[in-house]
Amino acid sequence: MTIKITSENFQKEVMESPIPVILDFWAEWCRPCQMLGPIIEDISNELAGKVKVGKVNVDEEGLLANQYRISSIPTVMAFKQGKPTAQVIGLLRKEDLLKRLGL
């Protein structure tokens, strides 16, 4: 299950997470984002307990998107111990996405 990440819960859910976090920066109007959605859900279910998976709607959370310089969506970022460790822009197959994120 993915978590909706907002400015209010970002600190707790991402920065203070004891396990790695994957964030999907997306928007409802973005077709590739919609195509990536089921892949993100699969990863969330497959890695439950090992990795936390969150979604950031860039239209609702512009400050978070700006903070991480998100200029293209979909962008998926991996965080470990509150620090960004990898970033992937665009639509990829699940296996390729996991590989590029180092998972």
Contact 88, 39 (CB under 8 A): no
β-strand pairing of 75-80 with 21-26? antiparallel
**Which listed residue (23, 33, 43, 70) is catalytic?**
33
Burial class (CB in 10 A: 0-12, 13-18, 19+), 69: exposed
Instruction: Respond yes or no: is residue 97 known to be catalytic.
Output: no
* Greatest C-alpha distance within the chain: 33
Instruction: Respond yes or no: is residue 30 known to be catalytic.
Output: yes
Positions marked active-site = 30, 33
